[in-house]
Structure 1
Amino acid sequence: MKFFKTAVALGALPLLAACASNWDVEGAKMAQNNGSAFQKGLQSEYARLAGLERDEGDWADARLFVGKALAATQGNVEPQVIADRSLPEDKVGELSAAREKLMAAYAAGGKEASPAAAARAQAGFDCWMQEQEENFQPDDIEACKKYFMAGLNDMTAKPMAKPAMAPMEDIIVYFDFNSTALNDEAKALLVKASMMGRGAKAVMVNGHTDTKGSAAYNEALALSRAQAVSEFLQGHGVAGNAIRVGANGESINAVTTGDEVEESRNRRVVVSFK
């Protein structure tokens, strides 16, 4: 396996245990962990990965995963960011989308609801990143990817812990001025909406704008926002034939304003369920 790693990935991990060397898999596995079930799951998963890399002679990745196992005894550890690895250009999009789904599931309460599955998903993602960077063992790449997907599916199959809204209550996501892009907060809410939508007979997706700009332009912008939400929901398991997309432009405001007024609370898409 590979004999170098990015300085960012290695340098970001603190030295957490004097009793365990950089490659002490057993020490990382047995280190005391008084944290959450998710932290304990991460410790176990990363120690397992460290052992696999050590046994293959990949000392850099063994060191990386030992460090992450030890870090998990002190707090939650994030999955690797895309920039930490020198990935093939044609794989960056797929891995970026996978990490986005993982982080959205976390934001929706996945760590608390399904800690073991969440830990498997994160370890599988980091394993996938590592194998994809090396890019010469297709079976290992596929195995790590499947491990990630299984953990993610198990995590999102259960209702997320402490949902922000009661089931079947409207979910509202907001947009930047003149934008149809979904920010991280919107994506986290729409993950919840997708779970609710799978059990609904119909999902109503209605777009809105503030009063800045012409009525015709704002109607088109509102429709584009609603379509962006619809595509996200379909990508997260809601049947396309259950979604009803509509646009109200600037005609129905959450906050009453005059014409030509920028108002962030009016730039929204409302998702409701029947």
Structure 2
Amino acid sequence: MRRLRIVCAIGTAALAAACATPWEVADVQTAIEAPPASTGPAFTRALFDEYRGLAKFEALEEYDWINAAVFARKGLRAATGEVVAPEEIAAWDIPADRIGELTTARAKLVAALAGGTTDRVPELSARAQASFDCWVEEESEGDSLSECRSDFVKTVAQLEPPPPAAAPQPVAAEPKVIRSFVVYFDLNKSTLSKKAHATLADVAAARTELSPAAIHVIGHTDTSGNAALNDRLSAKRASTVAEALAHLGVTADQKALGKTQPAVATGDGVTELRNRRVEILLVK
């Protein structure tokens, strides 16, 4: 009797217009008044909440107690832990030109649910199913552009699995120096001494023996003189060594560091033989 009194308070005229049976009204009221579901997986509990919301809206806002009962009954089944299926399109009076889109949408939804979204994103899955059922109900009433359709399209798109993480790119191994040589120069000079020529012959022999991936020639100066002069001098020294190696059949790349990386820390403005050098690095 309490449920019937609630219905009467809403308005007997609305109830009569909907032609709902007392059992339909009772099921709607049961769903509306029920507490949140406490059994079953997260998906069915969320599905109950979604269907209860639809039933409440259809009954109290649209005065459509018959369709409210459809949603209420599905919600009550979901509250027991039952996984209820999305609406069958054939069960509704849908215009022929709208069946194709709904059929495609239902297939997409069913595939997503079967693919594990009910476990991965249960609340979102429940919303997608409820919005689809609401869309079907709206289509049966001639509304092909309902909010339920828009909500379904937006929600089902979010059920798409995240793209697989890109495979980590292999980290290139740091070049490894397998042999090194040093050629020294007189102050402000870039000419090769007899000892330097002998060292370059050793480089050629090591290249044949070790087959390095690359050979780097790096020019340096001591800290005397200004930076611009030392940059030019270190470049000339590197070029001299690279050209001499080329005559020996050895290809090398070259760069010049001026006085920025002394082998011996001396402070600025100091002449130091060990800093007037070209390093030759064989790397793999």
What TM-score, normalized to structure 2? 0.47
What TM-score, normalized to structure 1? 0.48
